[in-house]
Structure 1
Amino acid sequence: MTTRFMTDPNAMRDMAGRFDMHAQTVEDEARKMWASSVNIAGAGWSGTAQST
């Protein structure tokens, strides 16, 4: 399969689709982590940790 991958358009499209799904998952998780780090204290709480 590896040898035919670069010459098989359907296999290339399939792999691109799987990679795109993986990339979306990674991006979504990164957004969640960034949002979590920005609002580290959580909603509705404002202490000294939130202001630093």
Structure 2
Amino acid sequence: MPTRFMTDPHAMRDMAGRFDVHAQTVEDEARKMWASSQNIAGAGWSGTAQATSY
């Protein structure tokens, strides 16, 4: 008999754990993308490319 996801606490706990890892990965990648957009033109440069990233 197949396991019913919504009524199996172990299956639900397992899925929650996998989702948590996925969510953390997405958050880490978003932080990296945001940080890289903050100084897009390079340190000490304040031209048009830098102004466009804001």
User: Residue deviations 1:5-39, cap 9 Å, x none?
Assistant: 00000000000000000000000000000000011
Query: What's the Cα RMSD here?
Result: 2.3
Q: When the two structures are superposed, what TM-score results if normalisation uses the length of structure 1?
A: 0.76
* Deviation at residue 3 of structure 1 after TM alignment: 6.3
* Deviation at residue 45 of structure 1 after TM alignment: 5.7
The gaps in structure 1 that reach 5 residues or longer are: none
- Measured in 2, the distance between the counterparts of 1:35 and 1:4 equals 42
Q: Which stretch has the larger CA shift, 17-26 or 39-48? A: 39-48
Q: When the two structures are superposed, what TM-score results if normalisation uses the length of structure 2?
A: 0.73
- Measured in 1, the distance between the counterparts of 2:28 and 2:2 equals 30
- Measured in 2, the distance between the counterparts of 1:22 and 1:43 equals 33
The gaps in structure 2 that reach 5 residues or longer are: none
Highest RCO, 1 vs 2 (Cα 8 Å, sep ≥ 6): 2
Aligned length: 52
